[in-house]
Amino acid sequence: MTQQQEACSERVRGWWRTAIIDMAPGRIALRGRPVEELIGNVGLAEMIWLMLRGQMPQPGQAALLEAALVAAVDHGPQAPSIAAARMAATCGVGLNNAIATGVNMLGDVHGGAGEQCAELLNDIAARIDAGAPLGRAVEEGLSDWRARRGRIVPGYGHRFHKPVDPRAPRLMALVRAAAAEGTVSGRFADIGEAVQASVGRARGAPIAMNIDGATAVIFCELGFAPPLARGLFCLSRSVGILAHAWEQMCQGGRNKGPMPPECLPLHEEGGTG
């Protein structure tokens, strides 16, 4: 091999440099661990942690992450991501396309509140680290949030589940149990509940924490960066999207719109749009 070829080969190796995987003929190592040692010995939540963080979680950490992933799997056909996936499944695409359609719906309004709530909780935590007491940090954090992002505080209240999102209390109970065992600090649970109390006072009526708030608390307690809150939600919701897309394929039908054609006020026969 010439010197130029050697230099080019080195550049190629560095072009896609990664600490995640080391792969060569007959060898696959993920984060330095041979894949054959992981298969059958590591659960999916542990594997997600390993891939994102570069090390294995403690059992209690993996259990808390898994609880958050299980809680967010599905929320019915009224959720835009599920509805879109079911409609896509009737258009002759494969399951991968239907899943991609659903996941691509998970934006700032639908699917992004967990990331936004994690940003808020981290901002309040930083204010506490700078010397502000919890109450003042919460009020200043909320005031700044509203000035920059509007009046809606992500992670609290729910348009469908009133008065309580049934997923949130269970998740928060698990956080408190994990804190009692020393798995997490419980710091973000305190902040999350203080925000809940403040928002309730501001509106003149109690408000419940929702799934986005509870999972944001968990992801912050476990040390995940806010953008990963959305990424982890996408992983979780993909399971429900897959199930709905497959069910729709099994049910059959073509070009499923938001409602049955006969229910549309002006329905035009023919055409596929």
List, for residues 51-71, the tens digit of each pLDDT value.
999 999 999 999 999 999 999
Q: What is the pLDDT of residue 161?
A: 61
For 127-136, 183-192, 264-273, which range has the lowest pLDDT when averaged over its residues?
A: 264-273
Say yes or no: 88 and 189 in one domain: yes
Check whether 258 has a pLDDT greater than 60: yes
The answer to whether residue 266 is domain-embedded is no
Say yes or no: 98 and 47 in one domain: no
Say yes or no: 153 and 179 in one domain: yes
Say yes or no: 138 and 243 in one domain: yes
Check whether 130 has a pLDDT greater than 60: yes
Check whether 267 has a pLDDT greater than 70: no
Q: Which residues contact 41 (CB under 8 A, 6 or more apart)?
A: none
- Range(s) of the domain holding residue 34: 19-56
Say yes or no: 23 and 114 in one domain: no
Is the whole-model pTM more than 0.85? yes
Q: What is the pLDDT of residue 266?
A: 55
CA-to-CA distance for 51 and 40, rounded, in angstroms?
16
CA-to-CA distance for 152 and 108, rounded, in angstroms?
12
Q: How far is CA 267 from CA 90, 91, 231, 262, 270, in A?
A: 19, 19, 39, 7, 10
The answer to whether residue 210 is domain-embedded is yes
Check whether 272 has a pLDDT greater than 50: no
The answer to whether residue 230 is domain-embedded is yes
Domain boundary among 36, 56, 76: 56
CA-to-CA distance for 62 and 47, rounded, in angstroms?
9
102 contacts 89 by C-beta, under 8 angstroms: no
Across the chain, mean pLDDT equals 92
Tell me the mean pLDDT in the region 154-182. Answer: 89
Radius of gyration for the alpha carbons in the chain, expressed in angstroms and rounded: 23
Neighbour order of strands in the sheet with 33-34: 21-24, 27-30, 33-34
CA-to-CA distance for 59 and 57, rounded, in angstroms?
6
C-alpha dihedral sign at 261, 237, 161, 110: negative
User: pLDDT (tens digit, 9 = 90+) per residue, 188-241?
Assistant: 999 999 999 999 999 999 999 999 999 999 999 999 999 999 999 999 999 999
CATH code where residue 82 lies: 1.10.230.10
More confident residue, 243 or 158: 243
The three-class DSSP label of residue 148 is: helix
The answer to whether residue 117 is domain-embedded is yes
User: pLDDT (tens digit, 9 = 90+) per residue, 96-127?
Assistant: 999 999 999 999 989 999 999 999 999 999 99
Q: What is the pLDDT of residue 261?
A: 79
**Number of domains observed in the structure of the chain:** 2
Say yes or no: 67 and 45 in one domain: no
